[in-house]
Amino acid sequence: MRVIARRHGASYTVCEVMLDQFLVALSKRQKTKHFLEIDPDEPPVGGQLMGAEPEQFSAGAMKLVEAGFDIIDVNFGCPVKKVLGRCRGGFHLSQPAVAIEILRRTRDIVPDHIPVTVKMRRGMDDTAESRDAFFEILDGAMDAGLAAATVHGRTVKQRYIGPSRWEFLTDVKQHVGDRLRILGSGDLFSAADCLRMLEQTGIDGVTVARGAIGNPWIFSQARALASGDPLPPPPTLHEQARVIQEHVDLCERTYTPERALILMRKHCIKYSQSHPNHEAVRQDLARVRERAAFDAALERHYGTDGPGRYVPDDYHRK
């Protein structure tokens, strides 16, 4: 997915988050080598990690450096329950001293030419104490010499329920000024959303997450709007088929043909949203178990070219 995003205009991508202790123990075995694999088309690409202990965190960061990642991203934003229960991810927003120590140790061990960034939510919850802790960590990030912070407009307890508070991003950018680049996250499901967040908040950039799954065209569309050009038309059926085929081919190369279609199922369901007959396409692609059946379904629904559609605005907002 990182390769597909880069080929469609993403400025850079970030790998899936990995545990520091997993990284420290990771070998180059065939079964796990893909975790640190970087495609020639990817750079710049960021390596993302999370953990609980400052010492092990910095050791994990070095494994990402050694693997060739161009940016090291510290995750203080993951809201998953089992992650929080093990004092990782978003849990660190409740303990500023430990969070700042992790950022300092990571920045100290990572070579100077490699940027270190942090991913945060706006706090554990909506209390004043949580807000104070957020800004204490943000100030610590600036003192430690981090290059940027990605800020999600929801709290950890909120997870993905309810709207992302973009006005909080405005407060964050006003707080840091030019001392730190702020990237915004949350409720970015169209190119127009990306531009609207930039205009409303004054932040330096946006990071698209769920909105890019099955819709890599969001990056080229956002670039066009940012340049003052009209919104490009949605991809045609042949354009969609080419990208889906490309994504499956890349997945087979990385994970083996046997696993590829299983792993691609969720992506294909998302891709189907750009097809006018999306419900039938979704059901067909979700059922395939072997490459021949997949190719047949692709030919059945995308063999004849025609106009696609923009992903409906309410698709992600249900």
Of residues 188 and 20, more confidently modeled? 188
Q: Please state, in angstroms and rounded to a whole number, the distance separating the CA atoms of residues 67 and 246.
A: 25
Residue 12 has pLDDT above 80, yes or no: yes
At 27, the pLDDT band (50, 70, 90 cuts) reads low
- Asked whether 231 and 192 are in contact (CB, 8 A), the reply is yes
- For the chain, what's the residue count? 318
Report how far apart, in Å, the C-alpha atoms of 51 and of each of 73, 77, 87, 229 are. Answer: 12, 12, 8, 43
User: Residue 304 corresponds to which tokens in the numbers above?
Assistant: 């004849």
Catalytic sites, residue numbers: 78
Q: Please state, in angstroms and rounded to a whole number, the distance separating the CA atoms of residues 40 and 48.
A: 19
Instruction: Give the pLDDT confidence of 58-90 residue by residue, as tens digits.
Output: 888 999 999 999 999 999 977 777 667 566 778
Sequence ranges of the binding site for FMN: 48, 119, 152, 209-210
Q: Please state, in angstroms and rounded to a whole number, the distance separating the CA atoms of residues 96 and 194.
A: 30
Cβ neighbours, 10 Å, residue 13: 20
